[in-house]
Structure 1
């Protein structure tokens, strides 16, 4: 069996037609077509959040939250690429997600070939004092330093084929054309799009907000969303939807190539994301931290669609609850390989092959640890109840508490509050029912304590999670 994994960073489920019966907020015809041939996971959820910690979960099959910070992947842990490579697989990585290399994070470890598509985010690539890079919006509305560098990196772009997702998917196609005749291979394609900045060609933007005039907030600040007017926020949503549609187009090019090369009969293809993004949801914008760090459904619910030659339910969906650390043991089992010791995730191969339709009883999502933030929230959900839990809420910040990025915030009430939501009646998580349902909150909190007990959490960190919601 061959394996192709395609990561699309920051893709929300409500922008994929297959998740919304064709009523999504973006057009995604290629993802929808792929879902008709695959098994769609309705309850895939973030484990460690955000980008870098999620990749660690995926590559090591181990939990990162709540004890692993935004840091390099440990060299002593076996990885998915190393495991397949030792078994004789050709292993390839094609990516533009900048922190794979720019921060020395060892995420490329184990891959036999590596193609880095340069220029994403604010990574240091092009320096050109001969061009002027004006910001497309008022400076206080955008992440100005990173946006300027990104726009400089993209200053030589002329055609849609020059855009980063196009370059990334095209390079993945080239890799397949050079390696599809191998006995076995694994190809990991990591696209940072549709992560911001959002600057797709205008013909995509016009599908969602034609005729807009005003600030183009390509890289909005994180925090409250009310620094934007209604028209500006609507255009930000349009830019994101347009970016998703552009990503879908170039993903289609890759998927068509898999078909043309005759790989469908012996290749497992995984489409996924690492987390969502707030667009005014709960009054928030982006992936804010500190007091704004709650992980609601819009952030934790992940797209996950898997096509496998032995899947007995193509075009169907499953309600099985799965998390990123489960992928490593799953693909190892399906490939008939032996999983290395130390993996903490559990295989859902039986869900893919159709002999089971359940996996986890609940899912746990959490932010990467950072002392500057004082405390980091976790979300525990069983699909019916969802608890947002703040460990040691009174833990003092070591530095000035982060509020928002470049715009003022005054009169803000305490936000580090435990919240419990009953999802069947409140899918938007607007009504905190903690006080009336303390037993449910205690049950979910105990599941978090159980995870901490089962993993190698430092005792000084573990103790901060002991406080029971509603009993402080």
Structure 2
């Protein structure tokens, strides 16, 4: 058995034509994957943002009910660890720079091998004493470190997410013909800053001439006009289309090796992003609207089983843990680790119409939300949100 998990950070479901035909973003390779996959229509996050979402996936537990942003805990029983102990080789390639920051410790080390591509966001990569300067005029956020990093980007191939997909292709080529592996391909794009090469910016032209690629996490102000918001969405679409091109190179390699016949391939995201909807940009500081918390999910089963069909049952990313263990024939019960996730296999096999009646999701110490897939109850944190206990190892 072979499995590949593909994640695109901040891949907004409502920006994909797969889910919303009138959407602007061109993503022919996501569409290509969808044609060979089951499409899940009611897939939600559990915890947000980045690192809480990843602990959800690695442990099958809802992180935000226990703590906020943080590392893998010493007591965590993780998906890659269980697979390793059962003879499944595990590898991750990523350009997600938070893995290399304080609070992101231990995630990559759960895998047998890992490859990190430098340069995203505020990754302390390019070292320059000379200040690279800030584009003027500009809206939103401009970080000095990213201005340094982007001096290394001349074509799309130079950027971290394209290099991430290229690394995944190299790994598959080096391990052609092998079996019993779990490969995670985790791209940071289209996470902000929404920075794509000219080839992709030209796909979404507008007349807005103020530098704006990194939105604030706040309500729109007077300068963030409808024209500015439209430009921001164009920048997002360009970054998404660039990532999609390089996803296509990974799919090309899967084609070449004939891996559709014997490989489970899962595509999803960690959360969405507000791009002016509901009068805000960013995330984490407002209600957990669907634009943020209802995310894409595609599951290709070996042999194109039920390819192109849609599943309307309520699912979450915590379900990846038991689903992949079941795919590999591993009994999670022997590890005696309590999880919140539910395997998707009864849905995939057509043995059940649902695996849960509701989903709970949110941010630690902030909004707590519950949905039945049709209606959602938003519960915002009040002033003096206490008592609030974080369950984590002490420093």
Quick check: TM above 0.5? yes
Deviation at 1:357, TM superposition (A): 3.0
- TM-superposed CA distance for 1:130, in Å, is 4.9
Inter-partner Cα distance in structure 2 for 1:137 and 1:51: 30
Alpha-carbon distance in structure 2 between the residues aligned to 1:324 and 1:273: 9
Residues 1:189 and 1:229: Cα distance change in structure 2 (over 3 Å): same
TM-score by length of 2: 0.93
Where do 5+ consecutive residues of structure 1 fail to align? 370-375, 398-459, 463-472
2:377 equivalent in structure 1: 387
The alignment partner of 2:146 has SS state of helix
Does 2:311 align with 1:318?
yes
Q: Does 1:217 align with 2:212?
A: yes
Residue 142 of structure 1 aligns to a residue whose secondary structure is: coil
The answer as to whether partners of 1:223 and 1:284 remain within 8 angstroms in 2 is yes
Distance in 2 between the 1:23 and 1:384 partners?
Answer: 21
| Higher radius of gyration, 1 or 2 | 1
| Deviation sequence 1:99-158 (CA, Å, 0-9, x none) | 1122242111321111000111111111123573332543xx3223xx321121121222
The alignment of Structure 1 onto Structure 2 pairs a total of residues equal to 384
Higher relative contact order (CA 8 A, sep 6+): 2
Map of 2:346 onto structure 1: 350
In structure 2, distance between residues paired with 1:136 and 1:315: 47
1: distance between equivalents of 2:329 and 2:308? 25
Correspondent of 2:358 among 338, 355, 362 = 362
Q: Which residue of 2 aligns with 1:275?
A: 271
Asked whether 1:153 is paired with 2:152, we answer no
The structure-2 alpha-carbon separation of the partners of 1:311 and 1:341, relative to structure 1 and needing over 3 Å to count, comes to farther
Indicate which of 378, 381, 399 corresponds to 2:368: 378
Match of 1:31 in 2: 30
Residue number in structure 2 paired with 1:341: 336
2:259 aligned partner: 263
> Does 1:168 find its partner at 2:164?
yes
Of 141, 144, 152, which residue of structure 2 is paired with 1:143?
Answer: 141
Residues 78, 310 of structure 1: CA spacing in aligned structure 2 closer, same or farther, 3 A cutoff? farther
CA offsets 1:364-398 (integer angstroms, 9 cap, x no match): 111134xxxxxx1111111232110024x13179x
Contact 1:135 1:148 in 2 (8 A): no
Distance 2:353 2:70 in 1: 35
CA shift, 1:310, in A, is 6.0
Equivalents in 2 of 1:170, 1:254: separation in Å?
A: 7
Contact kept in structure 1, 2:3 and 2:264, CA below 8 Å? yes
Contact (CA 8 Å) 2:220, 2:280: kept in 1 or not? Answer: yes
In the alignment, which residue of structure 1 is the partner of 2:94?
Answer: 95
